[in-house]
Amino acid sequence: MSINRRRGILLVLLALVIAAGLSACSTTYQEGQKVTIIGRLRLVGNEPFTHLVVTTAENRDFYLPDRSRDEYRGFIGSQVSISGTFTEKTLELADHSKFFTQYHLIDITAIKTAKPHVE
């Protein structure tokens, strides 16, 4: 077998391993689905435009309703388990050059501190 053929096979195998790893880490949710998210509760943005966000181990941010800011302020910086309804919003830049998907949890039913997941 030639060296170029071996390299090609190795590249294909590497691509398959990477794709499998990414799909295993990716969690998808449906609009309106009841979910429980585990992550670190953070306050992001600048006053007066701050938002509470739960950031998961996969670095996915879930925004919480603004009205919950005062209620959950004591959890900021903590690892939390939070349950609510999943929604997503598509945002775009003013010049329409880029679109972004922002994930939200609404109708929060429970929040509690959680121990970090260790493998």
Q: CATH code at 35?
A: 2.40.50.140
Looking at residue 107, its pLDDT comes to: 86
pLDDT tens across 108-119, in order? 888 888 765 454
Say if 19 falls within a structural domain. Answer: no
Say if 102 falls within a structural domain. Answer: yes
Write the CB contacts of 39 (distance below 8 Å, at least 6 apart in sequence): 54, 55, 56, 57, 62, 79, 80
Say if 72 falls within a structural domain. Answer: yes
Beta-bridge mates of residue 100? 91
Say if 57 falls within a structural domain. Answer: yes
Say if 95 falls within a structural domain. Answer: yes
- CA distances, 105 to each of 43, 61, 90, 109 (Å): 15, 10, 15, 10
Cis before residue 48, ω within 30 degrees of 0? yes
Tally of structural domains, the chain: 1
The mean-pLDDT minimum among 5-9, 25-29, 57-61 falls in: 25-29
Say if 13 falls within a structural domain. Answer: no
Say if 4 falls within a structural domain. Answer: no
**What is the domain range of residue 82?**
29-113
Say if 101 falls within a structural domain. Answer: yes
Question: What does the alpha-carbon distance between residue 43 and residue 52 come to, in Å, rounded to a whole number?
Answer: 5
